[in-house]
Amino acid sequence: MILKLLLGCLALFLGQTNARMTTEPDIIDLRFTEENGNCSVSVISPSKIRGELRLEGFDLESGETIDGGVTKSGSMVVPHDKAKAVRWTASFTDKKTGQSISKSFIPKYILTPAAPKSPRYNGPSVFGVRPGSPIILRLAFSGERPMSFSVEGLPEGAVIDAREGILGGKVSVPGDYNLTLVAENEFGTCRQPFTLRVGPKIALTPPMGWNSWNCWGLTVSQEKVISSASAILLKGLADYGYNYINIDDSWEADTRNADGSISANDKFPDMKGLGDWLHGHGLRMGIYSSPGDRTCGNYLGSLGHEKQDMETFNSWGVDYLKYDWCGYSREFDKNPDKSIASFVRPYLKMEEFLRAQPRDIFYSLCQYSTAEVWKWGHAVDANSWRTTSDIRDTWAFLYDIGFVQQAPLYPYSQPGHWNDPDMLVVGQLGWGAHLRDSRLTVDEQYTHISLWCLLAANLLIGCDVSRMDDFTVALLCNNEVLAIDQDPLGKQARPVIVDGDIQIWSRPLSDGGTAIGVFNLSEEVRKVDIGRYLEQLSLSGTVRDLWRQKDIAPGSYWIAPHGVRMLKIK
């Protein structure tokens, strides 16, 4: 009876229907699942099938194989250690036919070493503010709280909140102020040289923060914004410089007010209150609009109300405007003039009102790269411009947007004006009410963040931060990796070696060093002779592995499929 029951359970298990065609024997698949840090593998088949499931690991650091065991039960736990990159291959052999299938999977592994308990500065070494504009800068120090903060050399008008570490106030006299940021807790003191540059330029390093689109799409609400902003503070992402909190499309009311002004819909009951709350935590507020009469999501756009809308945004405390072409197409089509000037016009118009506001507003152009925006974006004083259409969380998008489309654009990025290859697609995403894990593999995610940092790209987290797991926090909070994105020289990387599926991207850094990304674009694990490539590039010196935060010998290293080694040579 018991045997019958057991067989029944096995048949039930083996009878799951969501199989897909793979190799022989027909309609059997192997599926790895990873949830809450636990990983397992199962045989999926629509019919009753018996055989042996075997698991073998390949340690990507040492190159050693690991015996993961064997079972006849149709599923097994993957013995996974989060600190190790191991490629597990499961093989199932059908008892009746002797035929087998196999599949490989790399569970999430964390490379970023834990931050010390003592204060450590993780932000950029320079910050630009216009004379007289409010400074809103949460100093990016990690370490145990409570922590106290002070600033040496603070110019007149600037103030520091000693408890929260928020630099505020206004400085009216232009100039470079060389400060020392000081953070102290029971474990130690950190002193960080820092330049406050009061002048015409803002965004001297690429913006970092969060945007609602890739997670919530048109279902975003004030509550959801606050939930991710709170998590940015609580999970320590603000201690690494993530400070813009950007509301994307669907905040707008259905109709304008009698005086023509715009207001928010019911999902955002108090925009000014939200702005004040963000500023109180040293975070900045971002908003979305369109030069058209409607936005991409068919909400109200700013056409004909540009000045009024900018004034409203200013009154809410907006620090970032994403200005999305989309609905402007109808206006554009009315005019037979298709010269560059007609692409520039709506952005130039908004620029006038945006820069007239008594606060610094990051101007983000979103027109998916039409009319080679990188050639004129700086002329409308844009702080960044989208260089692509919308990103999605697949390797095809990452490869095309990241590697193919950005390769020729390196000459156009510079402090104050950045190429924007779109927002990050790691963590829980969904573009709507239902969120799910990013579909990128763990190594594709390392590649994504490495490449975006090498590209000096905007780093706008696109996921629900309140549901962010430890892996994603560690992925987004590696201070040595982020330092490449935030390097004040602001030079975007370019591909310097393309050797089949191996690509080397490189960018010069302000301290004389060079950042390198060694990417394996193939579907296979590859042993890559990094030393040989460095020689080819005439690069010598200490080789620092930025993800692992340790110096390494310039030898050969295993790189996972679609994976990366990110290095600094100094």
Q: Are 147 and 184 in contact (CB under 8 A)?
A: yes
Report which of 80, 76, 79 is spatially closest to residue 91, judged by C-alpha positions.
76
**DSSP secondary structure, 444-505, as one string:** HHHHHHHHHHHTT--EEE-S-GGG--HHHHHHH--HHHHHHHT-TT-PPPEEEEEETTEEEE
Q: Looking at 94, 239, 248, 324, which residue is catalytic?
A: 324
The nearest distance, CB 196 to ligand GAL, in angstroms, is 32
Q: Are 377 and 415 in contact (CB under 8 A)?
A: no
Q: Which residues bind ligand GAL (CB under 6 A)?
A: 213, 248-249, 288, 295-297, 324, 326, 366, 390
Q: Are 296 and 324 in contact (CB under 8 A)?
A: yes
The nearest distance, CB 87 to ligand GAL, in angstroms, is 34
The nearest distance, CB 464 to ligand GAL, in angstroms, is 16
Residue 258 forms beta bridges with which residues? none
Q: Are 106 and 82 in contact (CB under 8 A)?
A: no
Report which of 328, 324, 320 is spatially closest to residue 363, judged by C-alpha positions.
320
**DSSP secondary structure, 506-554, as one string:** EEE-TTS-EEEEEEE-SSS-EEEEHHHHHHHTT--S-EEETTTTEEE-S
The nearest distance, CB 295 to ligand GAL, in angstroms, is 6
The nearest distance, CB 328 to ligand GAL, in angstroms, is 11
Output 245 or 543, the one with its CB closest to ligand GAL: 245
Angle between the N-to-C axes of helices 271-280 and 222-234, in degrees from 0 to 180, rounded to the nearest 10: 0
Output 297 or 346, the one with its CB closest to ligand GAL: 297
Output 459 or 481, the one with its CB closest to ligand GAL: 459
Q: Are 224 and 216 in contact (CB under 8 A)?
A: yes
Output 390 or 545, the one with its CB closest to ligand GAL: 390
Record the tokens describing residue 337, joined without a space: 């003039």
Lookup result for tokens 């579907």: 523
Output 318 or 481, the one with its CB closest to ligand GAL: 318
390 a catalytic residue: yes
Output 182 or 262, the one with its CB closest to ligand GAL: 262
Q: Are 72 and 82 in contact (CB under 8 A)?
A: no
Report which of 442, 471, 425, 452 is spatially closest to residue 560, judged by C-alpha positions.
442
Residue with the CB atom nearest ligand GAL in the bound state: 296
Q: Give me the torsion for CA of 179, 208, 410, 348, rounded to 10°.
A: -100
Q: Looking at 26, 161, 390, 469, which residue is catalytic?
A: 390
Residue 297 forms beta bridges with which residues? none
The nearest distance, CB 292 to ligand GAL, in angstroms, is 11
Q: Are 28 and 20 in contact (CB under 8 A)?
A: no
Output 390 or 400, the one with its CB closest to ligand GAL: 390
User: How many Å apart are CA 381 and CA 417, to the nearest integer?
Assistant: 8
Output 179 or 218, the one with its CB closest to ligand GAL: 218
The nearest distance, CB 392 to ligand GAL, in angstroms, is 11
Q: Are 477 and 518 in contact (CB under 8 A)?
A: no
The nearest distance, CB 329 to ligand GAL, in angstroms, is 11
Q: Give the residue numbers annotated as catalytic, written as ranges.
A: 324, 390
